[in-house]
Amino acid sequence: METKRRNLPPKASAMAESLRGLGYSTATALADIIDNSIAAQADTISIRFVWGKDKSLIYILDNGLGMDDKELELAMKLGGRSPTEKRSRTDLGRFGLGLKTASFSQGRCLTVASKKRDVLSCLRWDLDALAEGTGEDWNLYEGPSVDGEVLLALLKNFQNGTLVVLEKLDRVTSPESTEQDFLDLMDAVEFHLGMVFHRYLGTRVSITINDIPVKPWDPFLPTHSATWSSPAEKIKTPSGIIEVQCHVLPHKDRLDDQTYLRSAGPDGWTAQQGFYVYRNERLLVAGSWLGLGQGRAWSKEEAHKLARIRLDIPNTADDDWKIDIRKSTARPPVTTKLRLIRLAEDTRERARRVFAHRGQAVRIGQARELQQAWKIERIKGGARYSIDEEHPAVKLVLESAGDFSSSVRAMLRVIEETIPVQRIWLDTAEAGEPPQTGFYGNAPSEVQGVLLVLFRNLTEKKGMSIERAKQYLKEIEPFHLWPELIDALSEETLSEVRS
């Protein structure tokens, strides 16, 4: 017996309106449209915001391969290509919906005109027209709107190329919108595109917005001398090879003001920490711990804000990584989680140390660890801090105190028990930086007085050679921050102190 079937296509107007609610911003929508330009091998992409109150529009013009009428019709079809269909290794698309959903999220009219071998084709979706009558039919119009007709001239001198026009921008402008609002939106779009396509810009693609070049924003500051970068690691997975490279950015004190502000990214230093997931070198996720963590997912904290990790995946891994329609979320498969957690833990710890030491040299995994004045004891529910009596400055006082050593130890205990932990925590949270310590910002003369006392004690009372004492001081907190003062110590220095 034959199974009865019913053909139940979606109502055109209702489906189109539903697709408008996928959560695109103007910046993410334009990035999705640019993906198609890059996939079409365009190396020049021009975006223009045209202010006209309720007649405002945005268009994207590229010099890619272009489309003939049949190819354009397929591109304008919702779901024209299945996400399971095998794609070119360099293809940035996935669902066959990006052009339409991105455009509909911003305006109610989408026109695409394309030239291929000097032949022009033009098709248009108009959501208002879809809603007329029963709203059942998927009516795709040939030719531009009345307001968009003049824009076809932009393709006049192109043998191959594509023009995408977004009109009726009800999700971009409102009756209260001003031209300045439009200009501010352009700035936000410029930064986002510079971030998403930074590995293309300047080498393979030029993007302009109202004739102003989009500048690439590299989140990893790879050329700065104080940036720490791990070797790139390739990890084999069932869906292809992924590549991971960890970075710890310089502390604020190592950056000039302009670099510090720009490196913060669109959402600020704390929000921009985490993994940066790329697919075919196009950025999908800009700063996220991807739900990873030990026991519970890591949150974004001030102490780890300098940690940024590049993660490249191929487009054959879309299913495994759960890439969504907007190409803005990704979730690592179980097979890679443990390795990613270990890499991230190391990077987070490095970033925490750089943050805590304000960008000064930090030793990790060296044969001789930095001798610190404070000891940290991990206890249930937190940590306990105490003064290390083996620190040379502390030890000197205790050995010289004689009968007063018990009084000195009592004083040290009072200091340990009255550390203003809550105040330090609050000041750090409010300022986004740890308090200044370790002679930070002091004149060398203020440091030298204390340094000379220890230098004389090490050489005269401990019997160390001058060179051994100098090396020892470089391994003691906070004098490791002043190697140039230590290098200047000599026999003459001791003679001056004695006299």
- In whole angstroms, give the CA distance from residue 81 to residue 469: 72
- In whole angstroms, give the CA distance from residue 48 to residue 205: 17
Pairing of the two strands 240-248 and 228-229: antiparallel
pLDDT tier at 365 (50, 70, 90 boundaries)? Answer: very low
Q: Token pair 């009345």 is at which residue?
A: 146
283-337 residue pLDDT tens: 999 999 999 998 889 999 999 999 999 999 998 898 899 887 777 788 999 999 9
Confidence (pLDDT) at 245: 98
Closest CA to 45 of 206, 202, 260, 191: 206
What is the overall mean pLDDT for the chain?
87
User: Which residues sit opposite 110 in a β-bridge?
Assistant: 125, 166
**DSSP assignment, residue 458?**
I
Say yes or no to pLDDT of 81 above 70.
Answer: no
Closest CA to 170 of 76, 59, 56, 60: 56
Q: Average of pLDDT values for 117-132?
A: 94
246-287 residue pLDDT tens: 999 999 988 999 999 999 998 999 999 999 999 999 999 999
Structural domains of the chain ordered from first start? 12-213 (3.30.565.10), 228-356 (3.30.230), 371-435 (no CATH), 439-499 (no CATH)
Q: Under 8 Å CB-to-CB from 1, ≥6 apart: which residues? A: none
H-state helical runs in 77-203: 98-104, 127-131, 179-196
Q: Name which of 81-90, 236-245, 463-472, 478-487 the model is least confident about.
A: 81-90
The CA distances from residue 467 to 303, 394, 396, 444, 461, in Å, are 36, 22, 20, 21, 15
User: The pTM is what?
Assistant: 0.76
